[in-house]
Structure 1
Amino acid sequence: MGGAAPLEGVTAPLEGCRAVRHAGPVTVDFGRTSQDYARYRTVFPPELFTRLAAMGVGRAGQRVADLGTGTGVLARGFAAAGCAVTGVDIAPKLLEEARGQDAAAGLEVAYRCAPAEDTGLAGGAWDVVSAGQCWHWFDRPRAAAEARRLLVPGGAVVVCHRDYLVLPGNVCEASEELVLAHHPQWPLAGGTGIHAEWTLDILRAGFGGLETFSFDVEVPFTHEAWRGRMRSCNGVGASLPEAGVAAYDSDLARLLDERFPEEPLMVPHRIWALVARRGPRD
């Protein structure tokens, strides 16, 4: 199998993990939508890993702890580059999906069921601590402190995110308006794909040398795939009851047929990343 060998002693049983997060008044459990999440969420593009490697992050042989790994999307990208990767997540069903996708890709990633804020991994043992598509779900000051504890001196913390872009009249705007019609308390609509506030979490934890970058890509979706992507949304499949998810999906199918009949849909996305370093003498 591809990738460097994971560190010994880091795989934990899946039982007993609590896979629930809270976003204001909304309770979110991505385990409920793990199959849609694994099948329809887009991966990080190769350009992200190329840019990170140019910054000395994610190179072959490096030891990477991927927090909030979910279905292992970011973890597999680093494993494909030859890193020894351990993914950490609180959702057992997502980790099950991650293992299946690793096997299909011929890659090896170790997994541990634990919160990002208290991973139980060895401190001072990791060259890179990463978090992809998940920083907003953490107790961010605690997660930043845990990242610093895990890293070797001079090691890098990497926070990555990919957002579809809500623009006037586009399918993203219409789909989110429909989420709000079914789930009026959903607090995470909108956004620019730039997460400047997260830089303060990292700086306050004592990291230095902080850099950020972003770039935009268009991602093709069939109607079926876009419906699956939106079912995996925290405001839909991860928080609505089963009947509510089905009702949203039916309405979205109708909306796509009436307003966005073309296939594939070309959906704009923004990739954003933050990289910072633990001091060499910390």
Structure 2
Amino acid sequence: MEITRNNIDGGAAFDWGRASADYARYRDIYPDEFYQRIADMGLCISGQSVLDIGTGTGVLPRNMYRFGAKWTGTDISDGQISQAKQLSEALGMDIDYAVSPAEELKFADGSFDVITACQCYWYFLHEKTAPLFARLLKDGGRVLLLLMNWLPFEDEIARKTEDLVLKYNPGWSGCNETFHSLAVPEEYGKYFEIERTGEYRLPVRFTRESWNGRIKACRGIGASSLTEEQKAAWEKEHLEMLSHYPEEFDIKHFAAFAVLKKK
């Protein structure tokens, strides 16, 4: 399903279904520290019912399944949900999945203890999702917003990779990230109080293949409206650039989170 947002990529359409296969193979990259910090905050653990919105291929539910929560994942892309189901079933995990935009979730009031949105909340129409999330949560329930991005001004490989993506897709706005806190959209203030925020640096290990795959599965390349010929030309140049670096390397990233408690 194609998505357009005026504040993203200059309004150009993108479709995560185009990148689902690469997403399933290459986007499961969050270090264990990322998940452990969530559990250490008492979120997404045994006894809780969790809704993961924009679940993609189910990365968050699958990696946090060991902490004991009951997970449901939704995504606007049926291609992403298809991959999520296959990956979860192969691991014997009891995770429910459904195709749905974040603004049109069909669950009973008070269904969840926690709602998570990892690497996706900026796509939401917040004037619709803020009251909806509050309705879907139990009393005292939490929304957990999460992001993890590479740092191109601190990492040479990340910088050169971004430059190459912009060569083929100059309207891509997912670039030039710096270390920062997560800004909670103002629409949530009516329904939630900010309970906790934080940010931290962390390295993420890649091989040349997995870093190339990670970028293929991003909005600037795989999910974009670039032609297959353009994507192939980008990949050829990217692999040539990577051939000048070691087979394995760390890419500098940062993660940030915000915990919102229902009023």
User: TM-score, normalization: structure 2?
Assistant: 0.92
Q: Given residue 262 of structure 1, which amino acid in structure 2 is its aligned partner? A: P
Q: Is the 2:31–2:204 contact (alpha carbons within 8 Å) kept by the matching residues of 1?
A: no
Letter in 2 for 1:210: E
CA distance in 2, matches of 1:224, 1:112: 31
- Which of 174, 178, 182 is the equivalent residue of 1:196? 182
What do residues 186-233 of structure 1 show as CA deviations (whole Å, max 9, x unaligned)? 12211125353225343x242014211122221121111111111111
Structure 2 residues not aligned, in runs of 5+: none
Q: 175, 200, 203: which is aligned to 1:218? A: 203
Q: Secondary structure at the match of 2:103?
A: coil
Structure 2 residue 48 is matched with structure 1 residue 59: no
| 1:10-50 deviation digits (Å, cap 9, x = unpaired) | xxxxxxxx453432332110100111111111333332333
Q: Which amino acid aligns with 1:181?
A: K
Tell me the alpha carbon deviations over residues 38-96 of structure 1, each in whole angstroms, 9 at most, x when there is no partner.
11113333323333333221120210111111111112233221111110111011111
Q: Distance in 2 between matches of 1:42 and 1:76?
A: 10
Residues 21 and 77 of structure 1: is their aligned pair in 2 closer, same or farther, counting only changes over 3 Å? Answer: farther
Task: Measure, in 1, the Cα distance between the counterparts of 2:130 and 2:30.
Answer: 22
Equivalence for 2:231:
245
SS of equivalent residue, structure 1 residue 166 = coil
Q: Does the 8 A contact of 2:153 with 2:178 survive in 1?
A: no
Give the alignment of 1:6-17 within 5 angstroms.
none
Extract structure 1 runs of 4+ deviating beyond 4 A. none
Match of 1:235 in 2: 220
Residue aligning to 1:20: 3
Note if contact 1:28-1:234 (Cα within 8 Å) is conserved in structure 2. Answer: yes
The verdict on how the C-alpha distance between 1:19 and 1:96 changes in structure 2, with shifts beyond 3 A counting, is: farther
CA contact (8 A) 2:29 2:204 kept: no
Residues paired across the two proteins, number = 259
Identity %: 33
Q: Could you tell me whether the CA contact under 8 Å between 1:84 and 1:109 is conserved in 2?
A: yes
Cα-to-partner distance string for 1:113-171 (whole Å, 9 max, x where unaligned): 11111211112121001111111111133222221111001011001111111125611
TM-superposed CA distance for 1:175, in Å, is 0.4
Q: Distance in 1 between matches of 2:191 and 2:73?
A: 24
Equivalent residue number for residue 265 of structure 1: 249
Please state if 1:105 is matched with 2:91. yes
**Counterpart contact for 2:2–2:13, Cα < 8 Å:** no
- Is 1:36 matched with 2:19? no
**1:116 and 1:146 in contact (8 A); partners too:** no
Q: Distance in 2 between matches of 1:58 and 1:92?
A: 24
Q: 1:78 aligns with which of 38, 46, 64?
A: 64
| AA of the residue aligned to 1:235 | G
Q: Alignment RMSD, CA only?
A: 1.8
**Map of 2:127 onto structure 1:** 141
C-alpha spacing 1:195/1:234, structure 2 compared with 1 (3 Å): farther
Distance 1:108 1:254, change over 3 A: same
Counterpart contact for 1:19–1:92, Cα < 8 Å? no
Secondary structure of residue in 2 paired with 1:198? coil
The DSSP-based 3-state class of the residue aligned with 2:13 is strand
Aligned counterpart in structure 2 of residue 157 of structure 1, from 143, 150, 159: 143
1:130 and 2:116 matched = yes
Structure 2 contact 88–95 (Cα < 8 Å) conserved = yes
Superposition TM-score, scaled by structure 1 size: 0.86
